[in-house]
Amino acid sequence: MTLHIERARSRRPITWLTLVGVLLLPVLIGGILVAALYNPAERLDNMSAAIVNEDEPVTIDGQYVPLGRQLTAGLVEGSDDVASNLDWTISNAGDAAAGLADGTYQAVVTIPSNFSATATSTATSTAPGGTPEQATIEVSTPPDSKVVDDAIVAQVTSAAASIMGRQLSQVYLENVFLGFTTLGDQLGEAADGAHRLADGAQQAAEGTTALAGGISQLGSGASQLSSGAGSLASGLEEIASGTAASAAGAGQLAAGLDTAATQVNNQELVGAAQASATYAATAASETAGVAQDAGGLAQSIGDLAGQCIAEGGSATFCASLGAAAETAGTTAGDAAEAATSAGYASGYATPTASGIQQLTSQTSAGLAEAANQTRSLAAGLAQLADGTGQSADGARGLESAASQLADGAAQAADGATSLAGGIAELARGTSSLADGLDQASTALPSYTDSDATSLAAVVADPVTTEGVGSSLFGASAVPLLATLALWFGGLGTFVALQAASRRALTSRAPSVVLALRGLAPAAALGAVQGLLVAGVVQLAASYDWGQWSLFAALCVVAGVAFAAVNQALVAVFGGLGRWLAALVGVLAVATGVVSTVPGVLADAAALLPTAPAYTGMLAALTDAGGLGAAIAGLLIWSGLAFIATTIAVARRRVARSGDLLAASPVPA
């Protein structure tokens, strides 16, 4: 069945088969593009990749850490955010290289041998000589890989590596935050200890100050003791001298008694006896005085010995004082016994003299006995003199030792004063240290295990994104693919149909009507193409009814507008117009895939009829604006194109003289 529609570059009529082919062209283009390019992340399993795990696990604090295996498992397992994953094969270096060369694998991921060591270097960098390093993995693709294959592999491996890095960072930060808590607790304990140390140092300073005062008092007492010991020594020396004189007198008394005993003359005997009695009484009195002085000396030395320990004297010195007191006491006892003997002698001498006066018959036996007693008295007095001399020597030694003690006590008092100042300074410094530790402990944050885990998760991944899909082409993929399909559908329409009627020169119809007759079937085909392309898109993307309805309407408008523009290009430029139409499609593809195109190309693409179609479809499917401007732009392009086609038809209705001569027969 033929139709009254002119075919381009041929006078054969258009059939329904031709129209079906024209209708199916954008459907096939759009279907192939959508099926091949829309949301490739859902078909990642069509790509094969190899994993070469050369990692050598490490052991940290007794924990076995095989991060290479974990990353391999993460790549094979995939992500919950993406419905599919690459077809991974765990291989070795040789097989992976061969598979990459022969096309078995589209990518090879190599995990180096030091991956675990470098990835965990942050945990060991605090050790001497430790340096943190960044772990790396190597991704290889063949030189003949598809355009987007590298981006897909990079996205998948980067996501896996990022997740692992985030987990490692989270564990590290969690330990750091828990370390803050532990450090704060330890600083608090250190502050408490420092406070206690400061209190103890203050008490020690006060005690040392009191010690300095006590040592000063000890020095004063030692000085007094030295003076007393000197006086005591002088007294003991005088006592020793007097006792020695008494001993000599007692010896003389004994000699006199012996002489008296031998005297026969009673008068001489009586006189001698009376003299002996007088002398014995004197000796008894002096010896009693010596005994009394020696007793007083013994008591004084005993009192000094009792004060010695209290005044801080050494044990040896205090023992020497006690021995001196004991010697003085013994001397006092000996003097008392000598005084008693002298008294006895005096008692014997007095009755003897009286008895000589009364009883001349007494013999010299009593005088001899008195002489013997007097000699015993002389011996005791001599011993007393020696003991008193020794006591005097001991008192002189006590005087020297007490003087040295006083000097040492003065020096010790000065040292104790300096020590007290140093300990007080230590107490102030320790108190300042304790205050600083309190401030540090308060300033450090404290976290529970759950708080540390939550905070580490946020710090390890502080910034996240929302609204970013997993599709590599984004939301603009469908509008771009639909625009391209309809544009090339319009181009295909005027590859098959005639843009300007061949009967324009002979037709009586106006040029507008002729241009409209050429546009009408193409516009109808464009509208149907728009509906069919929208249907194919719906099968792939499953938009809601409201979005799809608006999108389908834009596709219909774009199909009609593209038909008008392609008609104008062919009508005005002929075959060059089809070349220009193909160039428009190429520019639409080049500027719609990425935003990094040169500014000149982007500006040129914004002036093309494909720009409002793409903008309108994008506004219909997303929240992007510009829907009204896009519809207005399509209508303007349609109007301008129809005007250009009408002008082209009108030009074809003007016959040139050369054409007329060529058509006329030559006369014979």
Angle at Cα 443 formed by Cα 439 and Cα 445, nearest 5°? 145
**Contact (Cβ atoms closer than 8 angstroms) between residue 531 and residue 556:** yes
Q: How confident is the model at residue 468 (pLDDT cuts 50, 70, 90)?
A: very low
Read off the pLDDT of residues 282-340 as tens digits, 9 standing for 90 and up: 777 777 777 787 788 778 777 777 777 777 777 777 887 778 778 878 877 877 777 78
pLDDT score at 476: 74
Residue bearing the bigger pLDDT, 667 or 345: 345
Residues 6+ apart with CB under 8 A from 28: none
DSSP 142-195: -TT--TTHHHHHHHHHHHHHHHHHHHHHHHHHHHHHHHHHHHHHHHHHHHHHHH
CA atoms of 268 and 271, how far apart (whole Å):
5
pLDDT score at 386: 81
Say if residue 10's pLDDT is above 50. Answer: no
Residue bearing the bigger pLDDT, 645 or 355: 645
Q: How confident is the model at residue 515 (pLDDT cuts 50, 70, 90)?
A: confident
pLDDT score at 562: 94
DSSP 224-252: HHHHHHHHHHHHHHHHHHHHHHHHHHHHH
DSSP 62: T
Q: How confident is the model at residue 174 (pLDDT cuts 50, 70, 90)?
A: low
Set out the domains of the chain in order of their start, with CATH numbers. 2-38+476-663 (no CATH), 44-188 (3.40.1710), 196-441 (1.10.287)
pLDDT score at 3: 47
Neighbours of 175 (CB within 10 A): 15
Residue bearing the bigger pLDDT, 171 or 621: 621
Burial of 11 (0-12, 13-18, 19+ CB in 10 A): exposed
Say if residue 495's pLDDT is above 60. Answer: yes
pLDDT score at 364: 59
Read off the pLDDT of residues 191-234 as tens digits, 9 standing for 90 and up: 778 788 778 877 877 887 887 777 777 677 767 777 776 777 77
pLDDT score at 557: 95
Look at 449-453, 525-529, 556-560 and tell me which has the smallest mean pLDDT.
449-453
Burial of 129 (0-12, 13-18, 19+ CB in 10 A): exposed
Please give the average per-residue pLDDT across 17-32, as a whole number. Answer: 59
Look at 60-69, 449-458, 603-612 and tell me which has the smallest mean pLDDT.
449-458
**Contact (Cβ atoms closer than 8 angstroms) between residue 73 and residue 164:** no
Q: What percent of the chain has pLDDT over 70?
A: 65
Q: How confident is the model at residue 91 (pLDDT cuts 50, 70, 90)?
A: confident
Please give the average per-residue pLDDT across 1-15, as a whole number. Answer: 52
CA atoms of 367 and 387, how far apart (whole Å):
30
Specify which of 78-87, 529-538, 629-638 reaches the highest per-range mean pLDDT: 629-638
CA atoms of 207 and 416, how far apart (whole Å):
10
Specify which of 191-200, 333-342, 507-516, 625-634 reaches the highest per-range mean pLDDT: 625-634
59 membership: H or E segment, kind and range = strand 58-60
User: In sequence order, which ranges of 465-504 are alpha helices (DSSP H)?
Assistant: 477-496
pLDDT score at 9: 52
Look at 187-191, 244-248, 503-507 and tell me which has the smallest mean pLDDT.
503-507
pLDDT score at 642: 92
pLDDT score at 465: 37
Read off the pLDDT of residues 354-405 as tens digits, 9 standing for 90 and up: 665 664 555 556 656 767 777 776 787 677 778 777 877 777 777 777 778 7
**Contact (Cβ atoms closer than 8 angstroms) between residue 50 and residue 95:** yes
Specify which of 81-85, 135-139, 444-448 reaches the highest per-range mean pLDDT: 135-139
Please give the average per-residue pLDDT across 422-448, as a whole number. Answer: 75
pTM above 0.75, yes or no: no
pLDDT score at 28: 60
Say if residue 639's pLDDT is above 80. Answer: yes
Mean pLDDT rounded to a whole number for the chain:
74
Read off the pLDDT of residues 121-160 as tens digits, 9 standing for 90 and up: 765 544 444 567 777 888 887 765 555 566 667 666 766 6
